[in-house]
Amino acid sequence: MNPDRPDLQPGDETPTRAGFVVLVGLPNVGKSTLLNALVGEHLSIATPKAQTTWQRVAGIRTEDSVQMIFIDTPGLISSRQLFHRSMAIETGRAVAEADVVIGLLDGGARKSRAELEGVHDLLARAARPAAVAVNKADLQRFDPAAARRLAGDLGLPLYVVSARTGAGLEPLLEFVASQLPEGPFLYPADHLASAPARFFVQELIRESVFERYRQEIPYAVAVRIEEFREGEDPVYIAASLHVERKSQKGMLIGKGGTGIKSLGAAARAKIEHFLGRRVYLDLWVKVSHGWRRRRKGLAMFGYVVPDAEA
């Protein structure tokens, strides 16, 4: 008997399918919102600011005999900066390990062919089933004809969706389910994520930074969980927020500590909702000079470290 399908009797089981579904696209096309919608849980940072996903984030959707592990990836940008190269490598590795690739396009934005080349090239070279999903169908400026032109001449299935409202997701899910390889579930059927809780706590703190600060501050902050005591009530969490310059530390803390207190309250509310428990959140701000431009800095916070260029 299939332990993930206790409702089935021996002899009438449907073969299970399971695999990784990677979402790729330009910054701010809605990959994170789509992952959250597909999984039904707030797992990936979703804010109006672009390029908020810095590492791949996995969310799991299990329905009947199919388990889909959706992977959110950093937005595709062309840059030689060390941190941007790190994110590009992260996306490339996710695609290489995927069973299905979904290229997400923004149906409400005007993008040049040059801006879309990265997405097109990635989908054209993907040695696995792929499709194009055009997002933001709920916007008034959405243009169905333009959406189809965005998909280009790749010869791939095209799906028009709204990650915000959930419109059009069922046909996309049916396509994904049909393309996944047969095999046992890779995670227990009741799991929604593959990463430990402390990873998502870290991301919720970082999301709160993006929501409350402007200009360069959100992009200069790396978060690291220093302590995570689940056995205590409330759960004790200590996190360090690393910025690149001393001036950024002052802006993050705010006058009289008002900034960091407000940030802590907002992040704690999210974490308590995510964990379903009371939380004591202890935040510390530190300066790690130019961490995004240093290989040691990327390694310290768990990001991919690109090879040194000749």
Residues 92-108 have pLDDT tens digits of: 899 989 999 999 988 87
Please indicate whether residue 234 or residue 110 has the higher confidence score (pLDDT): 234
Q: By three-state DSSP, how is residue 15 classified?
A: coil
- Report the chain's terminal Cα–Cα distance, integer Å: 56
CA pair distance 140, 166, nearest whole angstrom: 16
What is the edge-to-edge ordering of all strands in the sheet holding 17-25? 57-63, 66-72, 17-25, 100-106, 130-135, 158-160
pLDDT in the model for residue 114: 62
pLDDT(32) > 90: yes
CA distances from 97 to 13, 19, 192, 218 (A): 28, 10, 20, 30
- How are beta strands 66-72 and 17-25 bridged, if at all? parallel
Rounded to an integer, the average pLDDT of 294-298 is 94
Nearest residue to 285 (alpha-carbon basis) of 201, 208, 222: 222
pLDDT in the model for residue 11: 46
Q: Are 41 and 159 in contact (CB under 8 A)?
A: no
Q: Are 9 and 58 in contact (CB under 8 A)?
A: no
pLDDT(5) > 60: no
pLDDT in the model for residue 297: 93
Q: By three-state DSSP, how is residue 64 classified?
A: coil
> Averaging pLDDT over each range in 45-49, 109-113, 245-249, which range is the top one?
245-249
Q: Are 81 and 244 in contact (CB under 8 A)?
A: no
Q: Which domains, from first to last, does the chain contain?
A: 17-179 (3.40.50.300), 197-300 (3.30.300.20)
Nearest residue to 109 (alpha-carbon basis) of 81, 59, 75, 153: 75
**Average predicted confidence (pLDDT) for the chain:** 88
| Structure-token match 């910025």, residue found | 243
Helices (H), the chain: 31-39, 82-96, 113-125, 144-151, 169-179, 197-212, 217-220, 246-253, 258-275, 295-300
Tell me the per-residue pLDDT of 160-206, one tens digit each, with 9 for 90 and over.
Answer: 999 999 999 999 999 999 999 999 999 999 999 988 999 999 999 99
Dihedral sign for Cα atoms in the order 142, 144, 149, 154:
positive
Rounded to an integer, the average pLDDT of 285-310 is 89
Count Cα neighbours of 141 within 13 Å in the Cβ-side half-sphere: 5
pLDDT in the model for residue 76: 85
**pLDDT band (50, 70, 90) for residue 269:** very high
Q: Are 200 and 274 in contact (CB under 8 A)?
A: yes
CA pair distance 249, 297, nearest whole angstrom: 17
Q: By three-state DSSP, how is residue 239 classified?
A: strand
**pLDDT band (50, 70, 90) for residue 8:** very low
Nearest residue to 104 (alpha-carbon basis) of 64, 41, 186, 44: 44
pLDDT in the model for residue 153: 65
Rounded to an integer, the average pLDDT of 106-114 is 70
Enumerate residues 6+ apart whose C-beta is below 8 A from 63: 177
pLDDT in the model for residue 48: 79
Tell me the per-residue pLDDT of 66-89, one tens digit each, with 9 for 90 and over.
Answer: 999 999 999 888 788 999 999 989
Chain centre distance of CA 64: 25
Cβ neighbours, 10 Å, residue 103: 30
pLDDT(224) > 50: yes
